[in-house]
């Protein structure tokens, strides 16, 4: 499905993330000992969800012949009393969409591929590289 590679190039917590021909810098903010040179891990988490949100809704709207205009999604995270992560999305579109279209978009956004994976969790394994 997807593959990324991360390389620690310093200073402190700055890392280069590579996916094919693309790269992103990850870091921690200065308040956590980083340099603020890139997005922090939970920002990358929200970025993945926001990208999937925007792409899925754009694809859906195009298929329906709806004009989203400029679309943006604002995501924020917090923790509840049990320390579970809560993510909230606020969706904006400059296109002239009626209430029925918006309700359909809000239904579709609940089933984007990344939304579903984040809700169900993932099996994560690790191993030491040979050599």
- Model confidence pLDDT, tens digit, residues 19-50: 999 999 999 999 999 999 999 999 999 999 99
Q: Is residue 128 part of a domain?
A: no
Are 56 and 5 members of one domain?
A: no
Q: Which residues of 15-39 are buried (b: 16+ CB within 10 A; e: fewer)?
A: bebeeeeeeeebbbeeeeebeebbb
Query: In the prediction, which pLDDT does 102 show?
Result: 97
Query: In the prediction, which pLDDT does 3 show?
Result: 93
Pair 73, 91: CB distance under 8 Å? yes
Which domain, by its residues, includes 17? 1-39
Are 56 and 98 members of one domain?
A: yes
**pLDDT beneath 70: ranges in the chain:** none
Domain count along the chain: 2
Strands 22-26 and 85-93: unpaired
């Amino acid at each position: 499905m997807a593959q990324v590679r991360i390389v620690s190039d310093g200073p402190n917590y700055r890392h280069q993330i590579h996916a094919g021909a693309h790269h992103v810098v990850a870091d921690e903010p200065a308040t956590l000992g980083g340099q603020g040179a890139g997005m922090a891990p939970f920002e990358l988490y929200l970025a993945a969800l926001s990208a999937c949100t925007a792409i899925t809704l754009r694809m859906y709207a195009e298929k329906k012949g709806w004009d989203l205009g400029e679309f943006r999604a604002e995501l924020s995270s917090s923790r509840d009393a049990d320390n579970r992560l809560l993510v909230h999305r606020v969706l904006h579109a400059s296109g002239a969409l009626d209430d029925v279209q918006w309700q359909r978009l809000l239904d579709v956004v609940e089933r984007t591929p990344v939304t579903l994976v984040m809700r169900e969790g993932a099996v994560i394994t690790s191993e030491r590289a040979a050599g």
